[in-house]
Structure 1
Amino acid sequence: MSVVPFEATGSGAVPFEATGSGPARQVPARRGPRLALPVVLGLLALPLITAAHHSRPAPYGDHVTVYARVDADAAPALRTTGRAVEAYDKATGRPRWTYHREGARPLALLPVPGHAVALWNDGLVTDTARADGSAVRWHRAIPDSASWLRTPAARGAAGVLQPLDPRGRMLAVVTPQRIAAYRSADGDLRWVLPAEPGCAFEPARSVRHREALLVAQPCADAATPWTSQLIAVDDLGRIVPRRTPLGNELPGGAPDGVRARAENGFAPHR
């Protein structure tokens, strides 16, 4: 006995069995195994789909490892360990969480209440939940900063990250070209102050005086008065007389102290 080859299609074709003594007769197909094949293949594919889901690259190359917490109520201290940011318990020194990014290393850290802000050598600023490392809240790329951060003039990124209020609700990123302010809660860009033509900010030459951050802005022209080579900013922008106030709170939130400060002439640079 021989079996004539055939091609199975969706029309329900069945094979024919040929014998040496008579015409070929139709043989009903066994549909059970044929119908089960797609189900079996689907079950075999599930582990592969699950593995592919877990192996997807994290956005921005983020990798956060959370360890056993010693005291979740106490804010951990922060430090850099090679290519990672580490939060650790102040009393025991045990790590609480670590955060690293593929192909990048942290240059500077700014610990503020509830936030662990880091500047990376590729010009990215990140904010991680400080207490437990449960989330990297936001990433912000700082324009024209990656090449400058690789130069000796960057001085290890000293002074680039600056808090603009005591509670750390506003963050300043100071580079030679500009000062940019971000809201810590969501990374929203609130204002930008560019350096004057022929001048450049020096992040390492900055000092805080009460609510103001004073940043040096040396200029190439020696005739530029010294008053123009020193810029004062706060969370509302450059400090100048008769500013128009704008709040920096989250949408729907009450702007703490904005009205009182507006009466004293504080508002964002325009």
Structure 2
Amino acid sequence: MNSDRAVGAQPTASAHERSALASPARRALLRLGLTGTAALGATAALGAVPASATPTAPTRHRPGTPDEALRELAAGNQRWRTFRQRHPDESPAVRRSLTSGQHPFALVLGCIDSRVPPELVFDQGLGDLMTVRSAGEVLDEAVLGSVAYGVLELDIPLVMVLGHQSCGAVKAAVESDLSGERLPAHIQYIADRIAQNIDRTQEGDARISSTIDANVRAIRTHLAAEPDLAAKVTSGQLAIVGARYELTTQRVHRIG
């Protein structure tokens, strides 16, 4: 893939279908665990508007295929980097509608970096994205389980692994690899996972930048090899893509 093309520039998969990997009863139980508490608490909130006085949430097309999800993310990033954000899905009606369920159209696995919040970078609102964040997008069982939940239980058609320019976790891993010095506490765990993807053909800042991309590719490959996710990719119900956010331009582009 061309690393310079914008997100959504290439089609990826066919129409989205309902997943048959979990029973209806199990789905209902899992969803209740995430939404039931919110529904109960909504009416108890200070200043809550009575149901009879609450307007119906405005209809907004929800992307249902990988292609549609990619196009929506690309359009949102275009709005973000040209300062034309719409801040969608924040109205009182939308907030109330979300107390009974959620239907996010994409899952973004990104870094914890405070400069790269997915909802802002893609100009999306409440209920639009499921986000999972760890330093350097590093995978562990909790992260894998979170991604699997979004795909298998909520039928999300797109998973994006989002790295970013000047990633501190990648820089720490590269510098530790060069010096041989151990990092404090649990930070070494992060560095060890990233170290597997260091591009030692490059030097200096180029090594850090290249490793950011290599790390995204490795994580995407790992996710795509997970049997349950792979089955949905094969059927065309899911796309798993890698991308990178440039701090200098605020642009997100695909990484092959």
Name the one with the larger helix percent: 2
Q: In terms of Rg, which structure is larger?
A: 1
**Larger RCO: 1 or 2 (CA < 8 Å, sep 6+):** 2
Task: Normalising by structure 1, report the TM-score.
Answer: 0.25
TM-score, length of structure 2 as denominator length: 0.26
Task: Kindly indicate which of the two structures has a greater share of residues assigned to strand.
Answer: 1
